[in-house]
Amino acid sequence: MDSTTLFSDYHRWQRFQHQDRLEREHAAALRKLAEFRAMASRVTEGYRSMADKGAKEGACYRTLFLRGRDNGEALVCEGWLFVRRVLAEGGTTRVRATLLESFTLEEGIIEPGDKPAGKITLEIYDEILIKRSMTMGCRIDRHDDEHDTRFVTFLDSVRGDLKEHLK
């Protein structure tokens, strides 16, 4: 085996390892949200705080989400979310944001500026969780692209150096 093939296989293995870590982290975060029975109203307040910090400091927050594929499978992707505003109208809460993707299995790690940022709209809503018992929980899905669902955004993982890449 030549060194080019060896390093290519190694980099592919690293990409799959990263994907596996993100899958576990996303599943654990969703479990934690379900255990705490986080409701849409409380999660909305978190997004309002992100929008406020974004406006004042240019803060972007790490987010994980599922991206559905044509074959019916969904893989976790990672990115940085700049929350522009939170709109609550008629019982619906929508978040206007800019997403800067930082990892997909197909592309691997994406450095800021390598891929343009995209404007997205998220919808926050309560859902009934039926796995163990009928309890209420919260879900955040992309409103303008049905393939991106189950967003989990981390308040404790923030960057302020991405503003130039958000245009």
Return d(Cα 16, Cα 22) in angstroms, integer.
10
| pLDDT tens, position by position, 4-34 | 888 889 999 999 999 999 999 999 999 898 8
Q: What DSSP element (H or E) covers 23?
A: helix 3-35
Please say if the pLDDT value at position 79 is more than 90. Answer: yes
Average pLDDT estimate for 91-108: 94
Higher pLDDT, 91 or 65: 65
CA 132 to chain centroid? 25
Which sequence spans correspond to the domains of the chain? 3-165
Longest dimension (CA), the chain: 62
Average pLDDT estimate for 64-91: 93
88 touches 44 (CB < 8 A): yes
Report the percentage of the chain scoring pLDDT > 90: 74
pLDDT given at position 132 = 60
pTM of the shown model: 0.92
Average pLDDT estimate for 74-94: 93
* Residue 167 structure tokens: 């245009």
Nearest to 101 by CA among 84, 121, 118: 118
| pLDDT tens, position by position, 103-145 | 999 999 999 999 999 999 999 998 876 666 666 778 999 999 9
